[in-house]
Structure 1
């Protein structure tokens, strides 16, 4: 824990600052069947875990993570594996920043992929607009694609424990996609009104 010295006149007071607590899971599972090992890895990554090395991962400590890691610990036992679940803190602020940086980097990779898909969505709308393809079927298809983007961003945000550097950009890009679909929908409605 970090300590801060506060001086008030002749008195010195030591205040403990709250350190970030993490849950550290170390595990070893049999190599075969590989599908069980891969499923375990996916489950942990799906929770937002950062791997420090093979079989060693970290999550911010909270009740949900504690509960889910205890369940995973039991699953590892059922796989004839070994595991240890610990609560830990960083040695100092520099180490804590390294770990937080790893979490942010993982989320930023996901945000970059998301932003690329937003570009694909924008290109699809531009293509349909250029072709003057203003149909309800196309609007419905694009609406489904937008809902997938919205759901995906929500999943990334749920695992973004420390607010990745690309989070705001991803949010802005989704808003642009939503506005683009609204404008496209308006063109579809206008095209169908003209046909009546």
Structure 2
């Protein structure tokens, strides 16, 4: 048993790579992938991410692509001793996300400036489509906003102003096509999600087996290029049947679309949201503690079923707490 106290600073993941001069498209591809997963450059060929189960998976996929493209790469876990400090690296992430948020806000403001009360129905229909696209971009950026950059507030405000001009409730608009299936229709199905489960997928798996189908079969597959079998239901996967929509995490989407109107489950959904999206939307005071518990489970257990098995008691206890105390918002009676 290791009795040493953990070091106070959180570890970082570093991708160190070298790309061949040809083909040229590989450099563009790798750069775009780095942007997509939210990595920042700390040196010219060294990119950093905070060390989590999900970021390890992101770098693992990218390393594979680099090597298959003829390059060289390695991923290591590091603690900063000298030179850059943890705060300086966090600032790099915040600056990158603030730039992303500013671009979204500017686009929303530009669209707002082109519209007026007399805009035609066709113009407003096109603008509504752009609002949905901006909301999707905002959710994508929020998912890689690891430290809560302040620019999100301005982007949210600009989009909300645009929505008000269009007299469109994006949440309602997005929910219109969501036909709520009967619980019976979700039983006896094979559920599929990405390997390397973390908070959102652990919570979804718990929700499925506790409240939808106790005998549900859950399969864990590569998140990239997976082709679903007929009848499978995918969750927390790209183009999945139950996945992130707007600024809602997969647990929230599954909860709503399964018709589970339970205040205790909604409270858990807020905690999962705050941990998964890192946007502080609900300000749940329990989020930090649960995040550390789940991170500990992920570090201690590589097997996905074991992670879910270890996470279930945590969520069971949370549910019983919210159910018996009838507490909705953290620390407040309804």
Interval of TM-score (by shorter of Structure 1 and Structure 2): 0.7 to 0.9
CA distance in 2, matches of 1:145, 1:24: 36
Unaligned 5+ segments in structure 2 are 169-334
SS in 2 for 1:30: coil
Q: Find the counterpart in structure 1 of residue 93 from structure 2.
A: 103
Pick from 68, 80, 98 the counterpart of residue 78 of structure 1: 68
CA-to-partner distance for each residue in 1:127-156, whole Å, 9 max, x for gaps?
Answer: xx2xx23x3222211111111111111111
CA distance in 2, matches of 1:68, 1:155: 15
Contact 1:20 1:90 in 2 (8 A): no
More helix per residue:
1
The answer to whether structure 1 residue 137 and structure 2 residue 122 are counterparts is yes
Between 72-81 and 144-153, the greater mean CA deviation after superposition: 72-81
More strand per residue:
1
Q: Find the counterpart in structure 1 of residue 134 from structure 2.
A: 149
CA distance in 1, matches of 2:27, 2:18: 9
1:4-153 counterparts in 2 under 5 A? 18-91=8-81, 95-126=85-116, 129=117, 132-133=118-119, 135-153=120-138
The answer to whether structure 1 residue 174 and structure 2 residue 159 are counterparts is yes
CA-to-partner distance for each residue in 1:65-115, whole Å, 9 max, x for gaps?
Answer: 1122112212222222211110112227x7000000000000111111111
Stretches of 4+ moved more than 6 A in 1?
A: none
Q: Find the counterpart in structure 2 of residue 165 from structure 1.
A: 150
Deviation at 1:161, TM superposition (A): 0.6
CA distance in 2, matches of 1:148, 1:70: 29
TM-score (norm 2): 0.46
User: Structure 1 residues 90, 31: closer, same or farther in 2, change over 3 A?
Assistant: same
Contact 2:19 2:27 in 1 (8 A): yes
SS in 2 for 1:179: helix
Deviation at 1:15, TM superposition (A): 7.1
CA distance in 1, matches of 2:19, 2:11: 26
CA distance in 2, matches of 1:21, 1:47: 18
Contact 2:94 2:147 in 1 (8 A): yes
Number of aligned residue pairs: give it: 165
**Higher Cα Rg: structure 1 or 2?**
1
Q: Which has the higher contact order (CA 8 A, sep 6+)?
A: 1
Unaligned 5+ segments in structure 1 are 1-13, 184-196
Deviation at 1:16, TM superposition (A): 5.4
CA distance in 2, matches of 1:65, 1:119: 33
CA distance in 1, matches of 2:7, 2:122: 57
TM-score (norm 1): 0.77
